[in-house]
Structures are given as structure tokens and as C-alpha cells.
Structure 1
């Protein structure tokens, strides 16, 4: 039964939100230090102001409740749901102060896009953005890609009692090790290892193509963060096209693939359980799905004059397939080519790839392979039951870090989230069409926002209608929370505002 939030609940929620806001000041120190080292004094002032605001807001919320305690499920859902919005408002302050956004709403759009690792951006004159502001854009990807709660828990915030509730409320149910804090630390270590190695390789490539050392290292770091976090922000307005480097694109493709794989499966590889990895339902679903969609995409591309030759098809086509399915959003073709040069079939394939997304428990968005695989298994079970004798008992199992049985509860959860994503894609498409845009572009953009895919057809741009911009912000937020947390939060807020029913003394009912 739903229970309304009490004053005590609100104080607890505010307390934990305050801790997260205070924790965000550590991330803000990174662009501040970058600004000081690079002699960018105006951005340095902007980050000092933002840190000051975060300290004031965080401290005010933090002292709503001082004594520690275990969060119940309702409180944890509220903390997680509100954290993504509260921190997005804080993150958008230095973006707006940079002077590269037409309004604060535009800066908030990029702040939400960065935190949710969507990667869609409406920044102006990106090529001349300061090093500090660029650093902050990718720090948002780092926080959001690993998960705000995961990052906070990896630093030992909240403790074990509250940590377990918060970890589950962020849509994570699997543990690399039994201890939640150690699990989050393992996730952080694996992610940073990939990013550091990729940064070294990309730096060598950028130096080889003629970049100066500092710029080469910084841009390599940013691309590596964005690639593994499946974020999609790029330091240059032309995205990956700017570098004209196939080796760089190859490294980023491998990084996006690694980022879209469940961290639990990374741990199985780390332990040497290679067979477990390749038997996993998610991996098998991913291989089959990518094989089919790549063939369809290649067939569609072959009909286009711009991509009719095999090298161009392989280089641009495969990169876009991996970027779309991992919901990263890197582009090695222009937006005009995406909407004009690609055939309608190839355009639709990119949207479908973003809609499904990568593995559960990874940094990617979308419906996730785990749910698609379970739904396919449930269809197989239904067919087997229809064909089996009445006396037979049909059991369908799947592998995911051990052998598991398909149960009605697992299928129901998968179908619920799948349906919520589909409904959100449709509603977003209708909103785009209502604003006067073409149906195909409206559908594509809605999928890109709700799946946190980030590949844009051009609708998300400076000057778009404010109502559409707000709706896209809500879509990015809802998609990152995977709807269940969001819907539970909305219901509890509504219940809290519902007036309490007065209980009259016995015998007074008939007098009304």
C-alpha cells in the first residue's frame, strides 16, 4: 500500500540529497583545477561560484537530519529520483555562466543530457569552449555513466545500511561481490582502467595526427570518458569526424562495446570465467541482434550513393551501428547525411538500435538486452506450452551468471519496462509532430532522448520551442531512471498531496 511522505521522510530525503550535492563539489574541483592550470580565470571564477552555491544548498539540506539510519524503499526511490534533477540544476550553473548557451533552459538541457549520458547538446560555438568547461561536460558523463549513487557509494558515502537501499533504487540488483560498497568500488576500478588505457592509446594517435601534447591528452581523456560511459559528448562540434582517423574510431568502437556490457560480466572475465561470459543470455542476445541489424543496415546503406563503396560502408556504417546500440551518440557522419543521405531504412535501423540499447547493469541506456532476451525466452516458452501435451510441464531456462528459470515475475518486469519505453517513445513522437516537425524525425528524436541515445536528427538545437525542450528533458530523466523508479516516485508524491479523509464520530455519517 502506498504511504504518504511524512515530515520525517522529507527530512531524511533532504538529508541524503544534501550529502550528494556536497559530494558534487569534489567533481567541480576538477574543472576548477583545470582552469587554474590553463590560466582560464573567468571559468575559474564560475566554478568557485558554483562550488559556493553547492556548499550552501548541500549544507542546508544536509542538516535537515543529522542522525544516520537505514533508508526504507520509499525514501531511497525519492532520493534517487530527485538526485538526478537536483544535481542537473547544479551542473548547469557553470555551463550557463560560460556564455555558450542562449538561455538557462538550454544550459539545463545540456546538464541533464550530460548527467544522464544522453549526449545530445545544444551548446553554441563548442569549438571555442574553454578547457575547464569541456572538462566539466565530461565529468558529468563520468558521474552519470557509472551512476550517481554508485560513485557516491564507491567513496564510502552513506554506509552499508543506507547504501544497499540506494543501490537497488538506481535499478541495480546484481552484485559483483556480496558487499555493496565493494561492488561499487569494483565498478569504478574497472571503468577507470578502461578509460586510462584508452586515453593513452588515443593520445598517441592524436599526437601522430599533429595535435599539440596538452590538447591531445585532454581530448583523448574526454573521448575515452564519453566512449566508455556511452555518453556521446565530444570536445569538437564535428564529433568524431573532426579527427579523420580510422584508428581512433576503432579504439572508440571497442570502448563503446566494453561500456555497453554488464559490469557483472566484466567481473566474470576478470575471474577467468570466459565460458560463463559467452553463455550469458545478454551476450548471446547482443551478438544475434547486432548481426541481424548490421546486415539490414548494410543492405540499406548499399542503396545510397554516398556509402555504396565497401570501405565507406564498413568505416561509417559499423561505427554508427555500435554508437547507436550502445546509446553513446558519437557520429562520424553529419546530421545532414544522417537525415538526407541515409536511406529511410538505415535511418530507422539507427532508431531501433538506440531503442533497444545495450546490456543491463552497464553504462548504456534503452530497453536493454536482458529484457529483450527474457521476452524472447517467454515467447519460446509460450510456443512450447501450446505444442506440449496437457500433462507435460514446460520449463525454459537461461544463463546469466548461473542457470536461471523463466518465471512469471521476471517476464512481467521485463514486459512492464519494455512497454513503458515503447509508450514513452510514442508520446515523445506525438509531441514532436504536434510542434510541426516531420514524423520520421520526431520519432527518431523521441527515441534518442528516452533511450539516452544522443544521436540527433537535428530537432534538439538552439532555438527549439521551450515546451519541446522541457519535454525532452523529462524524457532523458525518465529514461535514465528506467521508469519504475520515476513512476513509483510520482505516485508517492501524488499520494502525499491527497487530502486525508476525515473520520467522523460514530453515528455522524447519516447526518452528512
Structure 2
């Protein structure tokens, strides 16, 4: 393990976070907030810069970065950004307890959107902005952002992006990874800007439109309103948010292909067709269920709220217009399945990812075919291309790791005094980075009442889910530091 190279990258990435904290200071000045609010960010910047400088006192002689160091850097960066990003909350006194502030910040950067706050409308504009801005940066990855602006070598870029970018890798966007990061961020920010304009046209004030667009882009769920999107009681806003959430759950590679004029290839993308199929099928079934159970008399209202909720859950955004925990058991069961499936690989969404869900399903079906005829030759295909056994095995292993970690998280949180449904919901919505769920963990109440131990567990659950498990496991594995090979 090259500790100096780890400290070197961690130092530079912390300085990026310090620079980003200048934006909420500008917001605070625009809204003429008390100096105590501004000083909370200034103090945090001073602490972060000091730590960043101290980490880089001894510069590495060799800046060669390997996969192991790359994963450790990713894990430590997300933990570091979370711990230091929470400082303004505590220093300003708006979230007085540090563990609560860390939970809130982890929820922001991982784009989970789960909150310990019962009252968000009383927060200052600078804190609300920083809280929502964390979704925008965390959505595409803090390291992808840094790689787009830092002069980093090709090999270092490869290892860092592989460790952070979520989803299975069955293809490439462009050959130059730095160029990839730039292209993705241009598309990302352009779509965010379009969302802001559409929300303003719907009557939302500029500040709320910006903050909610950050949440939509990062598929996070932080709102500036206690009632989330439901506060506005606007069908137009609900349709805009619902559609944009669905779009941000799409693989950003496909948007680039559209810009290149490869529309037919995009439509033929298997993961996209499965993703859209799941959304519209789930919406149709829940609409029928709601109608049969008399939840909505107006069909248009039923379709609008159902589509919004399905889009919010499968993309792991977590915005709400209604309390869907009051819907039928059929609807809640479908939502639980959508939480696990998640968005497309290469999107800002969380969960297992549609690509893994598709490949795992095909692999299981092929096993049944082999049981019927052991002599049959079966090949698992994705986008009409055969996958290697190694690729299929990686998907299977990740699914097993996902299940194993989810069970551990559930067990640890179950030591708290909450009922089974609440504990399951807390596990699903943090590990899948959703934010909204059934029972008291999601739509009915925030995470205020959880114990300190549970909040720490759920904080790591959010980070592990966002980084897709392996970097966190590697970070806490003793062999990582003992093995010199």
C-alpha cells in the first residue's frame, strides 16, 4: 500500500471540497444572512484546508496508482467529504449534534435524501443550498468531478473512475477517460439547467427550483419544503419532476449517443427497454390497484401520483407528493422491488442497477434450461452480445455481496427498538440510496429517533451502497494493508 499517494490524492480532493463551500457563502451573502452563518462555512474551509495541507506535507516520490490504492482513495474521500462537509451544520448550530450532521451530509453526497430533520423550512438559505448542492456533486461522483478539472495521469484516472462510477461495465463511452468525465458533466449540468428553467416556468421560486433541480439531477431527495414536492400542489411541477427523475435514471452514455445521432442504437439498448418497461408496467399495476381500492376517484390524479412515485423510487430519488405507505400491500411490494432494482448503470441512480437485474435474471433462466437439458450450450447475452463467464460471475458475486451486506445492516439496525417493517425500510432506503420508504423510516417520519449506533451504521450503509460495497470492504480489510504484493 502506497500511503503517500493515498494522502496526496486525499489532500487535493479535500481542497476541492473547501473550494465548493464558497458557493453557499455567496448564497448567504445574497440573502443577507447573519455573519454567524457565513463564519460557519469559513471555519469549515479553514479546517479542511489545514488538514489538506498537513496530509500533503510529504509528497509521494512515485505517483503510480494501482487498483487497491484507487479504491482506498475513493472510500476515504467519500468518508472525508462527509465528515468535513458536516462541519457547517454543527458550527452554525442548525444541526447541533455531529453524528446527526454526518448522517445528513452522507445522505446528501450519496444522493440518498434520508433526513434526521423534522423541520427543514427553518434552515438558512446557505445551509439549504449546501445540503442540496451535495446531491449535485455526489450524483456524478466527487472524484469524477475532480478528475474533470485536475491534471491526472491516464492510469490514475482509470483506477479512480473504476472504483467510483456505479454499475457494471459492459462497454465504453470514449477512449479517453478524462474526456469522458468532461462530456458526462456537460450533459449533466445542461439537463440540470433545463430542469431549473422548467420548474421556474411552473411557478416555483428560483431558489427552490435550483435546490430541487440539484436533487433531481443527483437523484437525491432533499427538499426545501417539509412536504417535499407535494408542497406545491401543482400537476405541472409533479409531471416535470417525475419525467426528469426518469431521465436522470438513464445511462448518460445514451444521451451522448443521441447527440452523435445514434438514436436507433439508443432505442435498441436492452437496459433502457427493460428500465422503461419496468416503470410503465409498475405504474399500470399500481394505478389499477389504487382504483380497485378506492384510493383515487380521479384517474388522471391516480396516474400522476403513481407515475411520480414509481419514477422517484426506481431512480432512488425519494421525492414525495403523497404518502404511498397508505396504499395497498400490492403497491408497497412493488415499491420494495423497485428500490432493489434501481436505475440504469451509468446513471446517478442507486440500487442494484437494471443491467445487473437483467443479467442475473437471464443467468438464472439459463440455469433452468441447463437443468432441463445438460447437453445444451447456453450463453448469457446482453444487448445481443455474449457475455464472458467472468462478467456473469461478477454480476452474481455482486448480487450475493449485496444480499449479505443488506442482511448485516438489517441485523445491526434491528438492535434498535423499531419494528421489523421500519428496520427493513431503513435498510433498503439507505443501502439503495433512496431516502423515501414505507413505515416511519421514510414517508411518515425522518431518522431523528434512531440511536447513535444505528445512525452510524446507516451512514456507512449509504456510503457502501453509493460506492457499490467493494471500496468500503477493502478499506476495513486488514489484508489491504498487510499484503505488499
Normalising by the residue count of structure 2, what TM-score does the alignment of the two structures yield? 0.92
Matched-pair contact (CA < 8 Å) for 2:106–2:459: yes
Partner of 2:209: 220
Deviation, structure 1 residue 458: 2.4
Partner of 2:385, secondary structure, is strand
Structure 1 residue 463: Cα displacement:
3.2
* Residues 14-413 of structure 1 mapped to structure 2, 5 A cutoff: 14-40=7-33, 41-67=35-61, 69-171=63-165, 173=169, 175-206=172-203, 216-333=205-322, 337-339=323-325, 341-386=326-371, 390=375, 393-399=377-383, 403-413=384-394
- Aligned counterpart for 2:465 among listed residues 463, 476, 479: 479
**Cα deviation, residue 20, structure 1:** 0.3
- The answer to whether the 8 Å contact 1:355/1:448 transfers is no
Q: Matches of 1:198 and 1:326 in 2, distance apart? A: 16
Q: Give the match's secondary structure for 2:254.
A: helix
Asked if the contact 1:260–1:364 (Cα under 8 Å) also holds between the matched residues in 2, the reply is yes
Deviation at 1:186, TM superposition (A): 0.5
Paired residues of 1:32 and 1:44 also in contact (CA < 8 A): yes
Q: Distance in 2 between matches of 1:294 and 1:423?
A: 30
Task: Report the alpha carbon displacement of residue 290 of structure 1 after superposing the two structures with TM.
Answer: 2.2
Q: CA deviation at 1:384?
A: 4.2
Distance 1:434 1:378 in 2: 36
Q: Contact between 1:228 and 1:258, CA under 8 Å: does it hold in 2?
A: no
C-alpha separation in 2, matches of 1:144 and 1:62:
24
Q: State the partner residue of 2:440.
A: 458
Structure 1 position 27, deviation (Å): 1.0
Q: Give the Cα–Cα distance (whole angstroms) in 2 for the partners of residues 66 and 138 of structure 1.
A: 35
Matches of 2:150 and 2:290, distance apart in 1: 49
- Residue in 1 that maps onto 2:422: 441
Any idea what SS the aligned residue of 1:76 has? helix
Partner of 1:496: 481
**In the TM superposition, what is the alpha-carbon distance from 1:393 to its structure 2 partner?**
3.7
Matched position secondary structure for 1:284: helix
Give 1:156 deviation, angstroms: 2.6
SS in 2 for 1:195: helix
Shift of 1:259: 1.0
Which is worse superposed, 438-447 or 106-115? Answer: 438-447
Larger radius of gyration: 1
Of 393, 400, 414 in structure 2, the residue corresponding to residue 419 of structure 1 is 400
Distance 1:494 1:307 in 2: 56
With 303-312 and 50-59 compared, the bigger mean Cα shift is at: 303-312
Q: Is the 8 A contact 2:413 2:457 kept in 1?
A: no
Between the aligned partners of 1:411 and 1:300, the Cα distance in structure 2 is: 36
Deviation at 1:85, TM superposition (A): 0.4
Following superposition, the deviation at residue 385 of structure 1 comes to 4.0
Tell me by how many angstroms 1:137 deviates: 0.9
CA 1:394–1:22 in 2, change beyond 3 Å: closer, same or farther? same
CA RMSD of aligned residues (A): 2.1
Q: For the residues of structure 2 that align with 1:27 and 1:175, how far apart are their CA atoms?
A: 30
> Structure 1 residues 305 and 378, CA, compared in 2 at 3 Å: closer, same or farther?
same
Write the distance in 2 (CA, Å) between the matches of 1:425 and 1:299: 31
Distance, in Å, in 1 between the alignment partners of 2:267 and 2:365 is 21
Answer whether contact 1:239 1:331 (CA < 8 A) is retained. yes
Distance 1:433 1:311 in 2: 40
Equivalent residue of 1:306, what SS? coil
* TM-score normalised over the length of structure 1: 0.88
| Whole-angstrom distance in 1 between the partners of 2:17 and 2:224 | 22
Question: Which string of whole-angstrom CA distances, capped at 9 and with x for unpartnered residues, describes residues 289-338 of structure 1?
Answer: 223322332343235443354233212111111000000000111xxx34
Contact 1:303–1:343, Cα closer than 8 Å, also in 2: no
Question: Is the partner of 1:128 in helix, strand or coil?
Answer: coil
For the residues of structure 1 that align with 2:23 and 2:61, how far apart are their CA atoms?
A: 31
Distance 1:315 1:104, change over 3 A: same
> Using a 3 Å threshold, how does the CA distance of structure 1 residues 251 and 89 change in structure 2: closer, same or farther?
same
Q: CA deviation at 1:480?
A: 0.7
**Does the 8 Å contact 2:163/2:467 carry over to 1?**
no
Once residues 267 and 369 of structure 2 are traced to their aligned partners in structure 1, the CA distance between those partners, rounded to angstroms, is 25
Deviations 1:33-80 (A, max 9, x none): 111222112221111111111110111112332556220111111001
